[in-house]
Structure 1
Amino acid sequence: MRATSRSTIRRWVPCAVLVVPVVLIGGGLPRSGLSAGPAQEKDAELLKDARDAFEPLPKDMATREFPVSPERVSLGRKLFFDPRISVDGTVSCSRCHLSALYATDALPKSHGARDKVLPRNANTLFNTALQFKQHWRGDFENVETQAKHALTGPGFGNPDFAAAMARVNAIAGYPELFKKGFPGEADPVNADNWGRAVGAFERTLVTPSRFDEYLGGKTDALTLTERNGLRVFMDIGCVNCHGGVGIGGGKFRKFGVKEDYWKATGSKEIDKGRFDLTKDPADTYTFKVPGLRNVEMTPPYFHDGSVGTLPEAVRVMARVQLGKTLSDEETGAIVTFLKSLTGNPPADFMTPPVLPPAGFK
């Protein structure tokens, strides 16, 4: 996906302005829902609207620049699960992205080496390589750059890349695996190749759901209730930010268009978002719009993990982004649709691999 400049971001109109007003029936669901009119025609119209707003997941997230060769993916999978590269031997990528928790850690804010509390909540890694930037503030262009810089960040805690690669070289088996993953290179054990290998593995972490079957034309892949929730999701205005293949993850938005976000979330700390990176006042409280695939399985929510349940997160978003107070019926409809975005975790992610011989040379 193509990155967007800050100058473009400043010209965007807030989501609330983009919402097309809908007529509610007795304060309930939008009149455009599935409760009226010939069912077949309404199903066809809904599918057309959904295809205009969303895209099905690909089989993997490889690109020409970042392929997913079997050798590279196998190496990246081992590196992803190996804690021995961190400064204290306790942290791997999988510490913040656990198999049992849909590639999250269920903490408001993750913990890195020497139990240092990290700045923000860990997003799931499933489908994330499709997003236009990585991390809440868009710190990194892609998963490869993020994986590389994790080596010297507070997660792994290494003082520099040389120290991290010394740890890799000292573990029997890795040098040969790097040669297989990056053939023809004189010295393949380097931080760039670490990032490429881990990124290759992450680019295989695709979780298609029944929603992808629906977009493919199988209308009954979603229940009538889920389709009704999809219509509400689009008509309320959620789709203006949460569209595309990731149901989000394709743009930056200010968190708190209609009111200060922390008043709704109860956040104990106020995070200025991208402003801390760019120092541009227009970026204050701006974050990457998160993707909503598997959102049912990845609480707590928002950059600081300040909201613990999905219905409350939906209400907060409607309130602070759209200036809307959702009814219980509307909230329930949206949550029901969002649950249809849950896919099966990739098998290679659910079971850690056998790592090269334990211990250092």
Structure 2
Amino acid sequence: MIDRWTGRLGRQMTRRSRALVLGLLLLAAPAVGKLAEQQAITPVALPELDGPKLELGRMLFMDTRLSGPQTMACSSCHMLDHAGADGVARPVGASGRRHDFNTPSVFNAVLNPYLNWRGDRRDLEYQSEMVLLNPDLMGGNWPVILSRLQADANYPRGFQAAYGQKPQREVILDALVQFQRSLITPDAPFDRYLKGDAKAIDETAKQGFALFRDYGCIACHQGRNVGGNLFQRFGVFPPAEPSLQDDQPAALGRYLLTGREEDRHLFRVPSLRNVAETAPYFHDGREPLLENAVGVMARRQLGRELSSREVARIVAFLRTLTGTYQGKALVSSIPAAPGQVPPP
């Protein structure tokens, strides 16, 4: 939101004046942040879902027959025991081509009004279909998918019971969406803190939240999903040493979709729920360490150099955003990257 306003003035502003405008706007962040417990960050709850349809969706989500070569399922990149992501910088799809973007976690995706790093999808049904049919992702096609599922011993019976018809495009997509809607991770320690349990998080995490709020991080990372609901440029402040990744076409963000200058390097702000379990970070997965990612965001988005103590406190807060799935704390089984600081 801030960057869209400054972006329209970008061609008339020097870097110094643009930074001044951004800084003045972010002065309002502490005032907004003081309402975080009541408004800016809010807890999530599990939705009510249709059990038979959800179970069909779970089966489909794990089924490699939805991909062209029958080698990949939705769960190949969105691993539920890996916090809904895959732990790699950028995945390889059915065609053998490495994808341009890091895999976002599927957990809590239903809470996002925009999907994908460029926000080019607005609903899970369309997103699911595009993933199934994209030759560089799952590489499927409907005639083949339908013939495989209709020839299965279980799917026709299950779809008849749940939908009153055999497997068809519309009900297959609906079942997949029903399952993805169930992938909510409530009851994070910070959720319990927001509900009034002062002991749900420790003092270090509380200090980290205060920094997160007062430094302006909460201006973009807010709402039920602690982000995911607006766009921002990566980054607002240029790096001291430009990264090689910044030269890649994918780094142009929404500009590749719209061709509008103000969308250059613009991305959907990611959710921070379960962020401690979803390394590596950023749209291209360039950063394996959460501590380093926090430092990069402070420099690139806020023009601020954090001390190691400040980083540690903010990371302590971010760890309290890890929720539960099926009654258990969501923990990634992906080994920590070399140098990764383990959770306390």
Under TM normalisation by the shorter chain, which class is it? 0.7 to 0.9
Question: 1:215 maps to which residue?
Answer: 194
Change in Cα spacing, 1:258 to 1:10, as seen in structure 2 (3 Å) is: closer
Secondary structure, aligned partner of 2:325: coil
Alpha-carbon separation, structure 2, partners of 1:223 and 1:265: 39
2:311 aligned to which of 331, 337, 343? 331
1:204 aligned to which of 182, 190, 198? 182
Question: 2:261 maps to which residue?
Answer: 281
CA contact (8 A) 1:76 1:194 kept: yes
Aligned-pair distance for 1:177?
1.8
The superposition leaves residues 133-189 of structure 1 with CA deviations (integer Å, 9 ceiling, x where unpaired) of 11111121122221122111122102x333332232232221222223323xxx552
Change in Cα spacing, 1:46 to 1:283, as seen in structure 2 (3 Å) is: closer
Alpha-carbon separation, structure 2, partners of 1:83 and 1:10: 43
Aligned-pair distance for 1:258?
1.3
Question: 1:110 maps to which residue?
Answer: 91
Aligned-pair distance for 1:8?
8.9
1:295 aligned to which of 275, 290, 305? 275
2:42 aligned to which of 55, 61, 84? 55
Change in Cα spacing, 1:228 to 1:148, as seen in structure 2 (3 Å) is: same
Which deviates more from structure 2 when the two are superposed, residues 189-198 or residues 337-346? 189-198
The reply to whether residue 78 of structure 1 matches residue 55 of structure 2 is no
Q: Percent identity?
A: 33
The superposition leaves residues 251-287 of structure 1 with CA deviations (integer Å, 9 ceiling, x where unpaired) of 1111111116982685562421111112222111111
Question: 1:342 maps to which residue?
Answer: 322
Alpha-carbon separation, structure 1, partners of 2:36 and 2:144: 52
Change in Cα spacing, 1:218 to 1:198, as seen in structure 2 (3 Å) is: same
Alpha-carbon separation, structure 2, partners of 1:15 and 1:182: 52
CA contact (8 A) 2:115 2:121 kept: yes
CA contact (8 A) 1:137 1:288 kept: yes
2:69 aligned to which of 88, 92, 115? 88
Alpha-carbon separation, structure 2, partners of 1:261 and 1:172: 60
CA contact (8 A) 2:6 2:22 kept: no
The reply to whether residue 155 of structure 1 matches residue 155 of structure 2 is no
Alpha-carbon separation, structure 1, partners of 2:240 and 2:85: 23
Secondary structure, aligned partner of 1:253: strand
Alpha-carbon separation, structure 2, partners of 1:178 and 1:114: 30
Aligned-pair distance for 1:340?
0.5
Change in Cα spacing, 1:276 to 1:17, as seen in structure 2 (3 Å) is: farther
CA contact (8 A) 2:150 2:166 kept: no
The superposition leaves residues 24-82 of structure 1 with CA deviations (integer Å, 9 ceiling, x where unpaired) of xxxxxx9x9xxxxxxxxxxxx9985432311101223x6xxxxx211110100000001
The reply to whether residue 228 of structure 1 matches residue 207 of structure 2 is yes
Please give the root-mean-square deviation of Cα atoms over the aligned residues, in Å.
Answer: 3.1
Question: 2:12 maps to which residue?
Answer: none
The reply to whether residue 319 of structure 1 matches residue 326 of structure 2 is no
Alpha-carbon separation, structure 1, partners of 2:293 and 2:26: 19
CA contact (8 A) 2:193 2:199 kept: yes
CA contact (8 A) 2:62 2:73 kept: yes
Change in Cα spacing, 1:9 to 1:95, as seen in structure 2 (3 Å) is: farther
Consecutive aligned runs of 4 or more in structure 1 exceeding 6 Å deviation: 7-15
CA contact (8 A) 2:33 2:218 kept: no
Question: 1:247 maps to which residue?
Answer: 226
The reply to whether residue 189 of structure 1 matches residue 167 of structure 2 is yes
Alpha-carbon separation, structure 2, partners of 1:16 and 1:151: 43
Alpha-carbon separation, structure 2, partners of 1:107 and 1:284: 25
Question: 1:127 maps to which residue?
Answer: 108
Alpha-carbon separation, structure 2, partners of 1:203 and 1:142: 11
TM-score computed with the length of structure 1 as normaliser? 0.79
The reply to whether residue 168 of structure 1 matches residue 168 of structure 2 is no
Question: 1:35 maps to which residue?
Answer: none
For these two proteins, the number of residue pairs brought into alignment is 316
TM-score computed with the length of structure 2 as normaliser? 0.83
Gaps of 5+ in 1: 23-29, 33-44, 63-67, 351-361
Alpha-carbon separation, structure 1, partners of 2:323 and 2:240: 30
Question: 2:13 maps to which residue?
Answer: none
AA at the equivalent of 1:152: L
CA contact (8 A) 1:102 1:126 kept: yes
Alpha-carbon separation, structure 2, partners of 1:133 and 1:290: 10
